[in-house]
Amino acid sequence: MPGLPAARRTVLKGAALAGAAGLGAAACSTESKLGHAKNPTPTAPVALGAASEVPVGGAKLYREARLVVSCPAKGEYKAFSAQCTHGGCVLTKIEGTEGHCPCHGSRFDTTTGEVIEGPATVPLPAVPVTAEGGNLVAGPDA
């Protein structure tokens, strides 16, 4: 921008960055508009399929159901909301027992729900889960 004083150029550059940050926030609130933030846990039982799909010592993400199930020991299952407690984005990746939020980088322990790394500060809400007949069911009456 020839002709503008250096200070003016800096202000404009800062405004452009603020605009980009604003877009990021809008993406998160779009997730929230999908109902994620209002209802982070299922209101009715959700069938998740074969319990054997959850690796012992690991976890499996059920992104459509917005749930993550971990299996700390054979036959033992723990389920949590997969909706990040920071801004409502749904986790997209599991590495071992760590759940990763794509929006701002929060990481959660899928065996406890606890935050490993922020900006989230609140654990993932626990969801009751059972494995009857080898199939997982998660939700309020599970």
Closer residue to ligand FES (CB): 40 or 42: 40
Cβ of residue 100: shortest distance to ligand FES, in angstroms?
A: 9
Residues numbered 48-77 forming contacts with ligand FES, rule: CB under 6 A: none
- Give, in order, the Cα–Cα distances in Å from 85 to each of 6, 62, 95, 98, 104: 41, 17, 19, 15, 11
Site string for ligand FES, 85-114 (x = CB under 6 A): -xx-x-----------x-xxxx--------
For ligand FES, the binding residue among 45, 58, 119, 128 (CB under 6 A) is 119
Query: What are the backbone dihedrals phi and psi of residue 67, each rounded to the nearest 5 degrees, phi first?
Result: -130, 155
Query: What are the backbone dihedrals phi and psi of residue 117, each rounded to the nearest 5 degrees, phi first?
Result: -145, 135
Closer residue to ligand FES (CB): 41 or 142: 41
Cβ of residue 106: shortest distance to ligand FES, in angstroms?
A: 4
CB 69 within 8 A of CB 48: yes
How far is the C-alpha of 43 from the C-alpha of 76, rounded, in Å? 23
Q: Does 41 bind ligand FES (CB under 6 A)?
A: no
Cβ of residue 136: shortest distance to ligand FES, in angstroms?
A: 25
Binding residue count for ligand FES, defined by CB under 6 A: 12
Q: CB burial class (10 A; 0-12, 13-18, 19+) of residue 128?
A: middle
CB 139 within 8 A of CB 45: yes
Interface residues with ligand FES (CB under 6 A) are 28, 84, 86-87, 89, 101, 103-106, 119-120
